[in-house]
Amino acid sequence: MYYLHRNLAREFINLNPIQRGGILPADAKKAIYEFWDGYSVCDFCQGKLEEVDNPPIKKFLEDVSEWINMDRAKLTYGAREGKYIVMHSICKEGDYVVLDKNAHYTSYVAAEKAKLNVAEVGYVEEYPTYKINLEGYKEVIDNLEDKNESIGLILLTHVDGNFGNLNDAKKVGKIAKDKGIPFLLNCAYTVGRMPVDGKKLKADLIVSSGHKSMASSAPSGILFYEDEFDDLIAKTSERYPKKEIEFLGCTLRGLPLITLMASFDYVKERVKKWDEELKKTRYVVDELEKIGFKQLGIKPKEHDLILFETKILDEIAKKDKRKGYFFYDELKKRGIGGIKPGVTKEIKMSVYGLEWEQVEYVVNSIKEIVQI
């Protein structure tokens, strides 16, 4: 028998930014007991998952697309699957995808799997901000057009998973509209954490992550898009007319879907508190920079994901017998987890969703560790 045990969520303050937005509320945990058997969401399916009324999958997709202000919503196993579905359905083999240099690795892998080429838009500045040159999208597109290359898609990472930089999607959306090229916005770290309005951001398509940012079990996600892309994305099988080819008939089922639905009201409410989340994030940056940490990425922070350069921790590690594990070890003693063990040169963290008392405790604990 396998030993399956995890106490991070119950016994520690979890600072892992990839998990802060995916922590389930009580209602979602209760729903698990009703639907934990394999195909239980399919009790009343007539052949198409997204038309199921019990549980109210159809209503949920209508509500969530209205919330994000996009025409349609489709269930996926995560943002990466959504990106591949978009690339495979609306692009032609050999087309170029123009994307930012901070794009997640799955953006590149999805393009490779779809047999597409990639052209990168670089930085205005590398260290320390790693700010993407959004105006550079036009230059890259113009250069490709001058070479008679076909561009199938423009992709922008709304907030990247390295630096937590928030990009002005409207700027890129306008370039895409002027060029007549579909615009895909990767909102894996934004939909569910902060307010997102697809039409205001000029997005044609949006991918999101339930397990990163919508308080859902993994793997889960939603692909949002405008009506004009429906014939390509939702194309059905000739043999099985109810089954959509790009989704292999059905995608998300079971507990990831149930928790995504059960958390929806909770997620809508917490997004309204985004300004307070930014205050917490900026407080952490301000306080920890006083003791020698250096925030990388754009300042002031516009997202909860923080990457610190931590030379001071690295210096302490050289003198401590535990080496790079001293910081992880000291945090653990204080009931704090989510920081990678053995890492001291740079650390990534988030206090999203924590109470102010917890945030202050984390800051004071780190200060105490540095002063040991």
pLDDT 10s digits, 6-57: 666 667 899 999 999 999 999 999 998 888 777 777 777 787 888 888 889 9
For the cut 70, the answer to whether the pLDDT of residue 104 exceeds it is: yes
pLDDT of residue 2: 64
What pLDDT score was predicted for residue 85?
98
Lowest average pLDDT, out of 40-44, 189-193, 272-276, 341-345, goes to: 40-44
pLDDT of residue 9: 63
% of the chain at pLDDT higher than 90? 86
Q: Which residue did the predictor score with more confidence, 343 or 44?
A: 343
**Residue in this structure with the two tokens 């002063």, named with its chain if needed:** 371
Sorting pLDDT into bands at 50, 70 and 90, what band is 168?
A: very high
Please say whether the structural domain 26-269 has been given the CATH code 3.30.565.10.
Answer: no
* CA distances for 144 relative to 92, 94, 115, 140, angstroms: 16, 13, 17, 6
Q: Give alpha helix (H) positions in 73-227.
A: 79-90, 105-113, 136-146, 169-179, 210-213
53-100: pLDDT as tens digits = 888 999 999 999 999 999 999 999 999 999 999 999 999 999 999 999
pTM over 0.85: yes
Q: Read off the amino acid at residue 96.
A: Y
Q: Is the model's pLDDT at 320 over the cut of 70?
A: yes
- Per-residue pLDDT of 180-194, as tens digits, reads 999 999 999 999 999
How much is the average pLDDT of 197-202?
A: 98
Residue 3 has pLDDT above 80, yes or no: no
Homologous superfamily (CATH) of 273-370 is Aspartate Aminotransferase, domain 1 (3.90.1150.10)
Q: Stretch 325-352: mean pLDDT, rounded?
A: 95
Residue 4 — pLDDT band, cuts 50, 70, 90?
low
pLDDT at residue 146 is higher than 90: yes
Where are the alpha helices (H) located in the chain, listed in sequence order?
8-11, 17-20, 26-35, 57-68, 79-90, 105-113, 136-146, 169-179, 210-213, 230-233, 255-262, 264-271, 274-289, 311-319, 326-333, 356-370
> What percent of the chain stands above pLDDT 70?
97
Q: What pLDDT does residue 5 have?
A: 56
Same fold for the pair 26-269 and 273-370: no
Q: What's the mean pLDDT when you consider all of the chain?
A: 94
Give the residue extent of every domain in the chain.
26-269, 273-370
- d(CA 149, CA 264) in angstroms, rounded, equals 42
Span 109-134, average pLDDT: 98
